[in-house]
Amino acid sequence: MDQASKSKYSTTVVSKATFVVCLMVPAAAIFSLSFLTAEERILAVCLTVITTTVYSAVPVALRLVLIELAPKYTAILMGILTTVGCIPGMIAPLVTSIITHEGTAQSWAEIFYMCSGMYAGAALIFLCFGNSKEQSWSD
């Protein structure tokens, strides 16, 4: 992000581009998983690796955005976001077990649709409302 301050792009533009790419690529890859058959398991593994690899940049980008937003309160904000962010990790296995109790390909496709929708929704929310400008309350 520091390099962005020296370029013609604002940190907000760079942050939005980073989040959109790092969320939409996994959304597309997970969505694609729902159309694969058991014979295409190598492609499924490749798409899963792509998802994990590209998404791994999101936590780093989030920390950078928090540093830009409120340098003095980054640790507090990160603690709050980490706490809230753990909730889906606790709920997801329960929801997955309820939806996939029969173990059919269609039930797993529903899980993949939900996951890709969450990734795309997060990208859209950050694209519309996110910024990296230091906040006035952070002084």
What ranges do the domains of the chain cover? 2-132
Give the DSSP H or E segment for 83.
helix 74-99
pLDDT of residue 3: 59
Residues ≥6 apart with Cβ < 8 Å to 106: none
CA distance 16 to 27: 16
- State pLDDT tens for residues 65-96: 999 999 999 999 999 999 998 999 999 999 99
pLDDT of residue 5: 53
pLDDT of residue 2: 57
Answer left, alpha or beta for residue 103, where phi above 0 means left and psi between -120 and 50 means alpha.
Answer: left
> Would the pTM count as exceeding 0.75?
yes
DSSP 9: S
- State pLDDT tens for residues 9-47: 888 899 999 999 999 999 999 999 999 998 999 999 999
